[in-house]
Amino acid sequence: MDIKQLYDIFLKNPNVCTDTRKISDNCLFFALKGDRFNGNEYALKALELGASFAIVDDRTLITDSRLIFVKDVLTTLQELARYHRLQLNIPVLGITGSNGKTTTKELSREVIKQKYKVKATIGNLNNHIGVPLTILDTSSDIEFLIVEMGANHQGEIDLLCKIALPDYVMITNIGKAHLEGFGGFEGVKLGKSEIYKFANNFDKKIFLNKDDVVLTSLIPTGTETILYSGSQMLSIISEEPFLKLRYKDKEISTNLYGSYNLSNIAFAIKLGEYFSVDQDKIVKGIADYRPDNNRSQLENLNGNTIIMDAYNANPNSMKLSLESFAKVNASSKLVVLGDMLELGEFTQAEHKEILALVESLGIKDAIYVGENFYKEKEGFNGAFYKKIEDAKEYFKLKGYQNYYILLKGSRGISVESILS
């Protein structure tokens, strides 16, 4: 079956599902494979649960007219998404970067929705499966599409661009994230800047934060850029505990912790200006945004103020978070830091550097969780634990009261569970 035929079926059954636990009536089930599962084995079950058709790549399963055989299910999902994207006559924005992708995407959505009906990546569905699903979930009444793109190897951003075909692109920043997969910082630069090369090759536009020397150095000659500068657009009035900013003659009281979010906010404002969103509505969009999923959140627990920045971590994001935390005016402060993962040969040096940074910032109380921090504990202050369960027991015994507590670590460590 070619993509045009499959697309005709999709138009009549526009809900796409890849998990039999989430089957909806009259959906299309794509039988994806993973390291530990084979979606082909669940195709008949998907039909029993209400799917209209199941797309499979195991010919031996074709025992039902509602089973559609293709050479490769994942490739077909991506091709179908690209075909659907070509039917959408709307602005599409692609966002990538080492830190702040999701926050920037959500701030942008809040601003753009003040004028347009917008669709944006849900959560962090930003990979080779999530991006196609986001596009296929974009209905004909949507006026603006924002696609978040994540990667941990070179070539992935290029693939996602060829599926999403963004008209506008931006990189939040380039830092020491996924060093193992990218092969070091230079590899990260090459991988992330694939989105710039796409824009250059297909005459698309780049939003460029001209305050960022690394990003500026990666712009291909001749590419159309839309320039902005957070340092010129915004000034910080206060960051205790949330950022309060001045934008032109207006004050914006945000629900975001940390001055490192200023560049994310600046982009969302520039995006709104570029697409002629009223200034008051831009301010409303920024002020209304409330982070969730452990990203720059503040919570109160047992008399403590908890800064939940624990969704993920890499050396750059951890450094920025610690530097912001050091500015907090509080007599009692504690950091709970989890290992930074996927750093490969750079792992131990980067963890040692973070330990030295904590001490140089004068942060006295610290709990470190994970094998990598534990290996570097000699000569540093703090409580070190290989496992979160042991750290949790220590945390409870200490009975912290009236502290400001920063939680930061890679997702695999789940440092936020120290509170439970």
* 364-377 mean pLDDT: 96
Nearest Cα residue to 269 out of 254, 279, 261:
279
* Residue 303 maps to a domain: yes
Residues 52 and 168 in one domain: no
pLDDT tens across 298-310, in order? 888 889 999 988 8
What CATH code is carried by the domain that includes residue 401? 3.90.190.20
Residues 263 and 351 occupy one common structural domain: no
Residues 172 and 264 in one domain: yes
Whether residue 374 sits in one domain with residue 258: no
Instruction: Indicate whether 230 and 355 sit together in one domain.
Output: no
280, 312: one domain: no
60 plus 156 within the same structural domain: no
Residues 405 and 263 in one domain: no
Q: How far apart are CA 119 and CA 110, in angstroms?
A: 11
Q: Which domain holds residue 52?
A: 3-72
Q: Is 68 among the domain residues?
A: yes
How sure is the predictor about 352, in pLDDT bands with cuts at 50, 70 and 90? very high
Please write the tens of the pLDDT for every residue from 94-114: 999 998 999 999 999 999 999
Classify residue 83: in a domain, yes or no: no
Beta strands 168-171 and 205-209, pairing class: parallel
pLDDT digit string (tens) for 162-183?
A: 999 999 999 999 988 888 888 8
Predicted local confidence at residue 258, as pLDDT: 87
Query: Using N-to-C axis directions, what is the helix angle for 279-288 and 101-112, rounded to 10°?
Result: 130
pLDDT at 240 over 80: no
- Would 221 be classed as within a structural domain? yes
**Dist CA 335 CA 304 (whole Å):** 12
CA dist., res. 104 & res. 95, Å (int):
8
| In a domain? residue 77 | no
Residue 342 has pLDDT above 80, yes or no: yes
Q: Is the domain of 283 the same as that of 302? A: no
Work out how many domains the chain is built from and give that number.
3
Same domain, 107 and 215: yes
Give dist(CA 341, CA 349) in Å, integer.
Answer: 13
The C-alpha torsion from 155 through 193 and 230 to 327, rounded to 10°, is 60
DSSP assignment of 407-419 equals EE--TTT-GGGGG
Tokens (6 digits) for 356? 């030295």
Q: Which residues pair with 244 in a beta bridge?
A: 238, 253
pLDDT in tens, 263-287: 999 999 999 999 999 999 999 999 9
Same domain, yes or no: 121 and 21: no
Q: Is residue 282 part of a domain?
A: yes
**SS3 label, residue 145:** strand
Mean pLDDT, all residues of the chain: 94
CATH number of the domain that residue 269 is part of: 3.40.1190.10
Domain final residue, candidates 45, 72, 99? 72
Torsion of CA 73, 76, 81, 86, to 10 degrees: 180
My answer on whether 49 and 66 are in the same domain is: yes
Alpha-carbon torsion angle 288, 292, 295, 301, nearest 10: 110
Q: pLDDT tier at 224 (50, 70, 90 boundaries)? A: very high
| pTM reported for the whole predicted model | 0.91
Which of residues 26, 45, 72 is at a domain's end? Answer: 72
- With respect to residue 78, please indicate whether it lies within any of the assigned structural domains: no
Which residues 6+ apart lie within 8 Å of 74 measured at CB? 32, 33, 128, 129
